[in-house]
Amino acid sequence: MDWDWNGIRHFTTLVEKQTLTAAAEHLGVQHSTVSRQIAQLENALGLRLFDRIGKRYLLTPEGERLYRHACEICKDMSMLQRTAREQAELRHSVVISAPPFVARLLLMPHIADFYRKHNDIRLIIQSDAALADLHGRQADIALRLVRPTQNDLAVRRIAHFSYRIYGHEGYLKTIRREDWRFVQIAVNTRFSRWFAEQIGEDADISFASNDFAAVKQAVCEQIGIGILPDFAVFPADRLHPVSLNPDKPPPEFSSELFLVMHEDVRRSSSVRAVANYFAEVLEHLSAI
């Protein structure tokens, strides 16, 4: 039997969160991905692991027995990966996981200054829309748009972002409001759900991507109107906030950015140096 460790991780997360939506948000994936992973695991085992009651997923007796073993497997895998990562500490490597637009627009402009102060640290930035598993040591530090709830993670709020719905001035001048098309951010987050609520179920979606860089490019190319973080929009872009209701000002959505570390890595001087540097930089930018 070929095991997919992602299936075990999705299984334990769904047990803890009880709904596909909550599990998907925690893992940073679509709810269909969680559903598919669970189905594949059940097929591989030949067992039914959950009873579905409304939107809640409750363990069957077979699922309860498997869950205990799955938790032990996750702990063992975390220990194995942690041991491997401790060897990497000898090379002073620190891995940061961040959403693509955060990595590109908020981290990269400060890399040169970071190396002027810490040239003995090798910094690795994982730019991925999916959340890195800190328990599995996929990263030492994660920048997340959703606050984690696990007790063994150290969490620090470092920035506050505003998102608005933007359109290119050329598009707004030539396309009637009733003919607007929309560019969708295809991630399962609070701001994406807010955008979906703003535009409504019948909105004409012309383009979708899980990367804000692609969303911005589509809006700049006048493919449609989309949600963007304010810090990603510059005067030269010729983008303007829009209101879907002409009688109201442009709506705004606010969210926070969290710097997250596993408690075990906080003892590393290299990890602390990286965390403190970027926390200070981003806290300063957020205060401007």
Q: What is the pLDDT of residues 155-198, one digit of tens each?
A: 899 988 899 999 999 999 999 999 999 999 887 778 888 999 99
Residue in the structure block whose two tokens are 């498997």: 66
Distance CA 109, CA 122 (A): 17
Averaged pLDDT, 20-29: 89
Q: How much of the chain, in percent, has pLDDT values that exceed 70?
A: 91
Which pLDDT tens digit goes with each residue over 130-151? 555 555 567 889 898 888 777 7
- SS3 label, residue 36: helix
**pLDDT value, residue 91:** 55
CATH topology agreement for domains 89-142+264-287 and 161-255: yes
Residue 4, pLDDT > 70, answer no
pLDDT for residue 283: 85
CB 254 within 8 A of CB 161: yes
Distance, CA of 151 to chain centre: 19
Domain-by-domain residue ranges, the chain?
Answer: 5-85, 89-142+264-287, 161-255
**Residue 42 clears pLDDT 60, i.e. is over it:** yes
pTM of the model: 0.61
CB 31 within 8 A of CB 19: no
pLDDT bucket at 286, cuts 50 / 70 / 90:
low
Per-residue pLDDT tens over the stretch 229-264: 998 999 999 999 999 888 888 888 888 899 998 877
Query: pLDDT at residue 90 above 70?
Result: no
Question: Residue 251: what pLDDT?
Answer: 87
State the DSSP H helix or E strand holding residue 170, giving kind and residue range, or none if neither: helix 169-174
Residue 4 token pair: 């997919």
pLDDT tens column, 102-131: 899 899 999 999 999 998 898 999 887 555
Q: Which of 137, 95, 145 is nearest to 9 (CA)?
A: 137
> Which residues, other chains included, contact 134 with Cβ-Cβ below 8 Å and sequence gap of 6+?
142, 153, 260, 261, 262
CATH class of 89-142+264-287: alpha beta
Considering the four listed CATH numbers 1.10.1370.30, 3.40.718.10, 1.10.10.10, 3.40.190.80, the one that applies to the domain covering 5-85 is 1.10.10.10
CATH of 161-255, one of 3.20.190.10, 3.40.50.1360, 3.40.50.1820, 3.40.190.10: 3.40.190.10
For every residue of 85-111, DSSP letters joined together read HHHHHTTTEEEEEE-HHHIIIIIGGGH
Check: CB of residue 240 under 8 Å from CB of residue 189: no
Question: What pLDDT shows up at residue 218?
Answer: 97
Task: Reply yes or no on whether the pLDDT at 202 is more than 70.
Answer: yes
